[in-house]
Amino acid sequence: MAERKGRTQKPDREDELTQEVTEGTGAVSISKDVITTIAGLAASEIDGVLPPKGGAFKKADAAKRLVDTTIEGGEVKVSMKIAAEYGRSLRTVAEELQERIKADVERMTGLAVRTVDIEIVRLVFADEAEEALEN
């Protein structure tokens, strides 16, 4: 079969888009990167949550390195690696983050969030946390 010149193959939209929500006026596509960004920003707003490698969350790129987003059956799954401040209840910090990510993603996108998995990979001591917040 001859290849047509001047045409490019469309990128795999499955990888780029969460789903297309059809409204009466047309379709709306939501990128997985958008959901990833929402989750990353939510993490930056929870006390006791820090990036695993230290420092403070950089709003522009925090999400892409720490959050993995997948879509299965029209539902969102989010996985995130974090550091937690030493002395805080790890379960409470993780649950607050799970609730915040779920609420923010559902509110902003209208998509159902099936799971939010949080992996705490490091403890950060108070002096490190204070230094991170100052920078």
CATH code for position 47: 3.30.70.1350
94 lies in some domain: yes
Asked, for residue 8, whether it belongs to a domain, the answer is no
Which residues, in sequence order, are bridge partners of residue 75?
72, 112
Domain assignment present for residue 83? The answer is yes
pLDDT at 101 > cutoff 50: yes
With bands split at pLDDT 50, 70 and 90, how would you rate the model's confidence at 2?
very low
Q: Is residue 1 part of a domain?
A: no
On whether residue 26 sits in a domain, the answer given is: yes
Residue 5 lies in a domain: no
pTM for the complete prediction?
Answer: 0.78
Count: domains in the chain: 1
Nearest to 46 by CA among 127, 135, 120: 120
Domain that holds residue 28: 18-134
What pLDDT, in 10s, does the model give residues 4-43? 444 333 444 455 555 565 667 777 788 888 899 899 899 9
Residue 13 domain-assigned (yes or no): no
- CB burial of residue 124 (10 Å; 0-12, 13-18, 19+): buried
Token code pair at residue 91: 């379960």
